[in-house]
Amino acid sequence: AQSVAQPEDQVNVAEGNPLTVKCTYSVSGNPYLFWYVQYPNRGLQFLLKYITGDNLVKGSYGFEAEFNKSQTSFHLKKPSALVSDSALYFCAVRETGSARQLTFGSGTQLTVLP
Amino acid sequence: KAGVTQTPRYLIKTRGQQVTLSCSPISGHRSVSWYQQTPGQGLQFLFEYFSETQRNKGNFPGRFSGRQFSNSRSEMNVSTLELGDSALYLCASSPMTSGNNEQFFGPGTRLTVL
């Protein structure tokens, strides 16, 4: 079975400060991990993914995520938050070699305060 | 390359009616997945089609069905609509099923059941 948890429903951060959106996962084997962002009344947009290799993955709009196998985490980070980063963020997982669908977390609403 | 398109964008129906939603994937993508998004349940997987075959199915009643055509376009149908079916229905496409491919989402169809 595969699952993903986003422990924070809401994250608030001041503009210019670093931001972190947390994600932990559970798979039987190795994971493929993804981050998506959703703006109001829009579909999800792909930000970045971890397949294998370097634990630090860089993605769109200055976002990056760090894969930590021992902690089964894949937290999304950005060094300096922008007001325009305010959106709903989803973490997703699929076990490597699995034919199962992507499993999404419950989402974290990020609000960047000016 | 054009993105994933969904039609219609907004739909209002009454209980007991049926509805058909359409999704055109990115050119060359053969996998189409459908999701239901609601404030209470989050993002829930409905089903995935690849090469006109249903590959995965989520935990939804038989009132929810889908199909995929030879040009990879997909439709989903909901019969005997209930108030709880009000949601944003998202379609996502990817080049292949499963694996490390990210999904590309359409803008969604907002269904309101009165």
CB count in 10 Å sphere of residue A51: 14
Q: pLDDT-based confidence at A63, cuts 50/70/90?
A: very high
C-alpha–C-alpha distance, residues A74 and A68, integer Å: 6
| Average pLDDT, integer, range A76-83 | 97
Q: B102 and A45: CB-CB below 8 Å?
A: no
Region A80-99: mean pLDDT is 91
Question: Which of A45, A100, A104 is nearest residue B98 as measured by Cβ atoms?
Answer: A100
First to last CA, chain B: 37
How is residue B72 annotated by DSSP? S
The alpha carbon of residue A11 is apart from the nearest alpha carbon of chain B, in Å, by 17
> At residue B107, does pLDDT exceed 70?
yes
What pLDDT was estimated at residue A98? 74
Q: Is B96 helix (H, G, I), strand (E, B) or coil?
A: coil
B100 neighbourhood in chain A, CB within 8 Å: 32, 49, 51, 94, 96
Q: What is the band of B98 on the pLDDT scale with cuts at 50, 70, 90?
A: low
Task: Give the burial class of A90: count Cβ atoms within 10 A of its Cβ; 0-12 exposed, 13-18 middle, 19 or more buried.
Answer: buried
* Separation in Å, CA of B45 to nearest CA in chain A: 8
- The reply to whether residue B4 touches residue A34, judged by beta carbons under 8 angstroms, is no
Other CB atoms within 10 A of residue B13 CB: 16
Burial class (CB in 10 A: 0-12, 13-18, 19+), B47: buried
Mean residue pLDDT of chain B comes to: 93
Q: What is the tens place of the pLDDT at every residue in B37-88?
A: 998 888 999 999 999 999 889 999 999 999 999 999 999 999 999 999 999 9
- Residue A91 in contact with residue A76, Cβ under 8 Å? yes
